Every structure is written in C-alpha cells, then in structure tokens.
Amino acid sequence: MQAVGVKTYAEFAQLLEQKPAEFDHLCNTVLINVTAFFRGLPVSFPATVAVVLHLSPDYPSVLVDVLSRCTRLPVCWAADGERMKRGTVYVAPPDRHLVVERDGAVSLSLSAPVHFARPSVDRLFASAAQAFGQRTLAVILSGNGYDGSGGVAEVHKLGGVVIAQDEASSEFFSMPRKAIQSGGVTYVLPLASIAPAVHRLVALGTAGGLDGGSPIAV
C-alpha cells in the first residue's frame, strides 16, 4: 500500500471514512483483481460466494468494506456455525481458515497454516468440493505462492469447475500457474472475462446447487 500513499491499515480505514472517492481509487489499485471480479457480478447473482485472501492478522481488515463498495450483493465476514445463503458473499476473517461443511454451514478453524497461509485457499476449495462435489465452482485470481493448487485438484477430482486468471492479466501469476500445472483447471481466462463466465456457468446450471445456487469459492 505504500506505493499509493497509504502505509497502515489505520490510514486505509480513515481514507474510507473521510475520502470515499480516493478510497475507491485506492481499492482499484491495490485489489484490482478482486474488485473487478465483484463489479462484474449482477445484483441478481444466485450463488453463494466464499472468499479467501491472505490477510495480515495484525491489523483490522477493511476487506468487507472494500467489497461492499464493489457489489450490490450483501458482503459479510464468515461467522462460525452460520449457514450460508444464496446471493451472499462470505469473507474469511484474518487468521482463520474458512471451511464449508456438508450442510452448507461455515466453520472457522485455527488449525495449522497451509502453505504458510491462514486462511488458506486450499482449505476453502477442498472443503467446498467435498461438501458439494460437481456443484462447486472455484476461481483462482492473481497472487503469489502456491496456495490453492491442492484445492483446485480436489475440486477437479470431485467434478467441479475451476477458472484461473491468465498470465497476461495477472500482476502475480504464481498462484494461477501452480493451479494450472495441477491439471485441475477447466478454463484459463483474462480477468475481464471471469465474472461473466461465472455468471453464465451458474445460469446454465453447469454448476449449481446450494439452496438453488452454486457455492462459488474465490
């Protein structure tokens, strides 16, 4: 964040409150991949969406505020034991794995980090696949490291669909690359095409099922 003039999460939150236009610009700079994805989803989107980003546990996170400004879908922190609802975005809190149970409930875990990450994309993807099988649609966006590749393989093995962001539109391609190398990715798409593809797949019923909608793991 220092490159765009904000050095701490406290300053980030202050910018949200005092200068919303500048906050929007900063979000587009820092979280361009995630915000672009959510801006591309319609308000009528019927799926349940679960989101994992590698967040620092040392600072209060404003990610829910960021995403709420990018979509008309309701966005909230995932709460332990809560049953997920269609058309809602659930965000993994910092320092907690987001695990999807077979009944559609959320479980937050303090178990060991996976690939040095907690929350872990692998834990989310694998649990969603084990809960919902071929109804799962996983999306892996630009990022560093190789978290997500094991979960992608699990989604693929259990019949789900996986979309990875392509190299040309990725600022950091190591996460999508590792996912693609796992052999479990169904489609490799530029960032601008991912949300429309997700919407189309859900609308066509290629992936669909949780309370009438698909569980989408991002």
pLDDT in tens, 88-107: 999 999 999 999 999 989 99
Q: CATH 3.40.50.180 in the chain, residues?
A: 31-217
pLDDT tops 90 at residue 125: yes
Instruction: Read off the pLDDT of residues 50-89 as tens digits, 9 standing for 90 and up.
Output: 999 887 776 667 789 888 988 999 999 999 999 999 999 9
Q: Which two tokens stand for residue 95?
A: 């320092």
Q: Cα(176)–Cα(182) distance, rounded to whole angstroms?
A: 10
Burial 130-143 (b: 16+ CB within 10 A, else e): bbbeebbbbbbbbb
Q: Between these two residues, 15 and 60, which has the higher pLDDT value?
A: 60
The pLDDT assigned to 13 comes to 55
Q: Between these two residues, 163 and 22, which has the higher pLDDT value?
A: 163
19 pLDDT tier (thresholds 50, 70, 90): low
For tokens 């939150």, name the residue: 13
Domain 31-217, CATH homologous superfamily name and number? Methylesterase CheB, C-terminal domain (3.40.50.180)
Q: Compute CA distances 76 → 12, 54, 63, 90, 164, whole Å.
A: 19, 17, 9, 5, 24
Q: Cα(147)–Cα(174) distance, rounded to whole angstroms?
A: 9
Q: What is the DSSP letter of 167?
A: T
Asked whether the beta carbons of 218 and 47 are under 8 A apart, the reply is: no
The residues, any chain, with a CB within 8 Å of residue 188's CB and separated by 6 or more, are: 163, 164, 165, 166, 176, 180
17 pLDDT tier (thresholds 50, 70, 90): low
Strand 75-77 vs strand 97-100: parallel, antiparallel, or unpaired? unpaired
pLDDT tops 80 at residue 18: no
218 pLDDT tier (thresholds 50, 70, 90): low
Q: Which helix (H) or strand (E) holds 48?
A: strand 48-51
The pLDDT assigned to 217 comes to 60
Q: Cα(142)–Cα(33) distance, rounded to whole angstroms?
A: 7
